Chains A and B, each alone.
Chain A
């Protein structure tokens, strides 16, 4: 009813090619941003921010990163967890060496270190394709994880081998450390995620994104059309690792507030992010958010939401049920819509456009 594009005429090519060509979409985005920046901090409690929103945003960022690699460029990766780790350790080293610089700058800058490492492990992608590429990224995952434990310099020779997040202030307000309130950390994180999503959206809709998609659809054909494979694939690795690295730094500094690599950046993390991308929809930014929401919020909602509705179930049963339900839902969603939640979202929009008519 409200979702009608009748009467919106495009008079320039630029407006026709816009990312959000329909007015309602732009309003929708503005409303989402408003809710994100104002509504949730005002209404959401600390528990909601800390256990639902912050993990969701961190995972969204990582999922965007992996989606650039797997969804847009078609290179399967199981190393995103380790690349997140690179970001986290880089940020930790940077902020302990140069404590004076604003932490937000270091969080974003740590992405570049992850990008550099990502390029190194991306090199085999030129020769190895498909599922075979998993091995290169798994080598990255396990080798980096091993390095995180093995190189004490990375965690400043801490006796317990852990990173501890120091307190960093901005204009007198603690942004990281124990004294930073969930609202502050949430807002900083949301700012970073919004900014990087905007950049990603421009990247994938532009020339670079198109060359990635050409490589994904068929790399030999892309090469014949004049896309240079090496730079395109390596750039995808670099950008993807950059996003994962920033996500890792955010995870350590804005969410966990300390921890260790085996725990936070292990292979399970890589799998989780891959789930998010596939469930959300390969090659879709919205899909990254939807997938992250599905995989990261659902278990929490089941664990704390179901008892709150008055159904008392013991923790273990709930945990088993969560696993069974999550597994069943993944299969269910794949059967209903193999192209992920993003496609469901689009179908929904399409239906809304036509409503109340079926066609």
Chain B
């Protein structure tokens, strides 16, 4: 046994040592590790996101020579959406001074949250992870812009009111929440319960066990019985296409089915084919290639065969663009950090400040070639989320199109929940560090 361990130990020792040597030669770089999942049961969502994240950063390298003249060293690490592998990836990239980590899995995020402040590496969990981490006073190192799941659920209620003709019309209506029976899926429940009491609509829960994601006929029978007026889908992976198909099978009006942004993959709706026309999903960025930034990617990355996309047509898909959006946040945070510190090669602590002072205005979006692509994002010292605007994206049979105006979340409802959840978190973790990082004055 000893020999066996020794051999493996040597192997792994080599694994740790070798990258450290390579890295010494490449000081003038900004190292951005991307924890992605292109394999495993969730690869369907993971692949387009990974491609988008990668291609945007690659485009910056190709077009502008990086950020502020410093090349970005992009490294993907395969997690397979598995927490164990994800943490391995984190440990492996940690030694190379990453400026920011994108865990791309709620499970991995939960594990990294306590480590971030110790390792001095900010974590960007874009619209996933722990909702409470929007509280910058408790979680100075964690960022989850542009919206939380609670914001999403509140927009859903707002949308429902808008469709019915006002919040007072909500009384007596039924909202169904079909959700993955896991912490991720259960997250919107407390907010929806609050709102249902406030506005007098009835909330029906339809949990889908993880093992039965593709076997939902029993759940949809319940939906047929209860006849909810709207259904909000907090699902993930194979659960979403199945839900869309089951809705069609059960003659549930498909335009009354609204998914959270992670239920907005092109593959999710495509399973329903043309009949799924009208399926909606919350979104905070547009799909399609009709934006200068995507054109730049096509020109600078895809045309040079630097993209990993297996089919050029997939550029511009909804989840691909989400990856682009995610990388835009990274790049803007790095840029802000460069501006704040005056340094070219920034480190994790600088980028933390950069994220905290992130302010992407309409003007800035235009410069980025993202006019109309996304809403302005602003993050502050105490608010690490921003609770920014979202809209309804609608499946038109072959792609997602924008089907509503930008809608603001009910921030007043969401914020108290976040504050109390953050307080609970800090209280539950005795020895949770008090924030010592100073706030930058607004620039």
Contact = CB atoms under 8 A, between A and B. Distances in A.
Contacts of A35: 2
Contacts of B36: 315
Given A159-B417, A159-B421, A301-B11, A166 B210 contact: no
B83 interface: yes
A178 B76 contact: no
A51 interface: yes
Interface in B396-443: 417, 421, 424-425, 428-432
Interface string B50-67: 000000000000000000
Interface string B87-100: 11001101100000
B5 A293 contact: yes
- Mostly, the A contact residues are helix
Interface in A269-317: 286, 289-290, 293, 297-301, 303-305, 307-310, 314-316
Contacts of A28: 2
Contacts of A31: 2
A51 B92 contact: yes
A262 B16 CA distance: 30
A256 B80 contact: no
A53 B126 CA distance: 32
B328 interface: no
Interface residues of B, number: 61
A319 B39 contact: yes
A98 to B, nearest CB: 12
A332 interface: no
- Mostly, the B contact residues are helix
B15 interface: yes
A335 to B, nearest CB: 19
A159 B8 contact: no
A162 B92 CA distance: 25
Contacts of A259: 83, 107, 110-111
A164 to B, nearest CB: 5
A316 B15 CA distance: 18
Nearest to A296: B84
Nearest to A51: B88
Contacts of B39: 316, 319-320
A48 B84 contact: no
Given A44-B9, A259-B111, A308 B15 contact: yes
Contacts of B186: 149, 161
Given A31-B2, A157-B424, 10 more contacts: A99-B430, A160-B183, A164-B114, A165-B114, A262-B210, A263-B107, A267-B211, A304-B88, A308-B15, A309-B14
26 contacts: A44-B13, A47-B12, A47-B15, A47-B92, A47-B95, A51-B88, A52-B12, A142-B211, A157-B424, A160-B130, A160-B187, A177-B114, A178-B114, A178-B115, A179-B431, A256-B87, A258-B114, A260-B182, A263-B83, A293-B5, A301-B12, A301-B15, A303-B78, A303-B85, A305-B14, A316-B78
Interface of A: 28, 31-32, 35, 40, 44-48, 50-52, 55-56, 96, 99, 142, 146, 149, 156-162, 164-169, 174, 177-179, 256-260, 262-264, 266-267, 286, 289-290, 293, 297-301, 303-305, 307-310, 314-316, 318-320, 345
